[in-house]
Structure 1
Amino acid sequence: MTVLSSLSTHDYTDRFTVRSDAHGTPEQFARAIFGDVPNAGELFIWRLLLRLRLSPGRSPGTIAGWRIGGRGPDWIRMEAASDALSANLVVRAGGGTVSLSTFIRYDRTPARLLWPPLSAVHRVLAPRALRGGVARVERAAASATASRR
């Protein structure tokens, strides 16, 4: 796998993948997974626990408050940071799969204490969010196909 992270080093990485024949851009999948603005649970984890600096409101340059830091034909990278850590979320779409990768770099000691227990929660929530986002794109594609008939 090509590493699409913007971080120079990684203290934590994971990748979750689901099969899908739905056609969509990586940005469409990322917005289906996370939305345009963070929900209450995401705000609690990202802003309050991790203290990530997220952009407020909707913007073409952000997804759920995360800055879009890079993109290619089959991927998009979202970036956020706090005083303690830096994070990238990368969504890849193509070849019948959609994946969500997380890259974390500990910038200060509190991250080394905070992220390991939160990563257990992340490993439950991230695949669930990925499956839900892919299902939303698949439903939208099926609806669009049905309306053209």
Structure 2
Amino acid sequence: MWPAVKAMLHSVYDQPTATAVHEQFDRLLEYTEGRLPKVADHLGDAREDLLAFTGFPDDVWRQIWSNNPTERLNREIRRRTDVVGIFPNRDAIIRLIGAVLAEQTDEWAEGRRYLGLEVLNRCRLTPTTDTTTTPEATTDPLIELPA
């Protein structure tokens, strides 16, 4: 049943609006409830985390739920460690990976951002609805990020 569940889960992320995303997720839960109750329970418990991206502007959804930056970083670490081959001790590999991470941090801080400041600022100004709190608790003033 995994291919069908996987296809339905992917279809959740293909929806154009937040309402459509939530409706498709409901259909996924209905589909799995009778056939795979443990999967339905797991997905139901993870609903808030899985659909958190819908609280942001829809043009940045793909960047939010993509793991491309993590995969790119892992490939760079793998490439650097493959060049060295054998490390004399654990501290040597930690130093190399630490240097790679510091280099990546510098690159991202200097402007090669996956989500630029203007996008983050726009995301921060987008009102979100938190289903776990009362409406009074979600009226906190929004903080603008520096431009």
Give me the TM-score of the superposition, normalised by structure 2. Answer: 0.26
Indicate the structure (1 or 2) with the bigger Cα radius of gyration: 2
Give me the TM-score of the superposition, normalised by structure 1. Answer: 0.26
More contact order relative to length (CA 8 Å, sep ≥ 6):
1
The structure where helix makes up a greater share of residues is 2
